[in-house]
Amino acid sequence: MGRVPQKSDYSVFIADEAAMVMFGQQIARATTGGEVIFLEGDLGMGKTTLSRGVLQGFGHQGSVKSPTYTLVEPYELGDITVFHFDLYRLGDPEELEYLGIRDYFTDQSICLIEWPERGEGALPLADLLLNITVEQRGRRINWQPQTEKGRQLADKLIVS
């Protein structure tokens, strides 16, 4: 229930770090609030760089570090709060319940979640699933909507 058919041609080649940041800024411009975005990919693929781009797209000008030890870092940016999660060091998805995980998912927030598979069972369904892989000397980002809100977001990200 709530799942939408998946389209396989949501994809973009990212040549370098600057292009990754720019794509993150494009994601920020396409959001309306309330989105849950899963960022998948091996270590070093650029998930945090992409998150930095999203945050910059909302006007954040400071540094963005992966919240590996704190699990979540909030960024209050005007009317929206972006929660950047990194679940790499999460021992058990149940730990997220102790964090009050459900309180983060509101219509005034955008949740970027790195390593979402480690929180399986405690996280809601992602609106958009992004997967980053190596391609030549750059990266390939594929994205798949998981909800109607995600489909609307995915369609806005189609790169010509």
How does pLDDT run across 96-141, given as a tens digit for each residue?
A: 988 899 999 999 999 999 999 999 999 999 999 999 999 999 999 9
CA nearest neighbour of 130 among 139, 138, 122: 139
Please provide the size of the chain in residues: 160
For 44-73, give one letter per residue: b (16+ CB within 10 A) or e: ebbbbbbbbbbbbbbebeeebebbeeebbb
Nearest-angstrom CA–CA distance, 42 and 73: 21
As given in the structure block, the two tokens for residue 84 are: 């950047």
Give residue 8's pLDDT.
53
Residue 109: count of CB within 10 angstroms of its CB: 18
Give residue 160's pLDDT.
45
pTM of the entire predicted model:
0.91
Taking each helix axis from N to C end, the angle separating 17-30 and 47-57, rounded to the nearest 10 degrees, works out to: 50
Q: Is the pLDDT of residue 47 over 90?
A: yes
Give residue 1's pLDDT.
40
Strands 109-114 and 80-86: parallel
Give residue 103's pLDDT.
93
Average pLDDT value for residue range 51-76: 91
Q: Is the pLDDT of residue 85 over 80?
A: yes
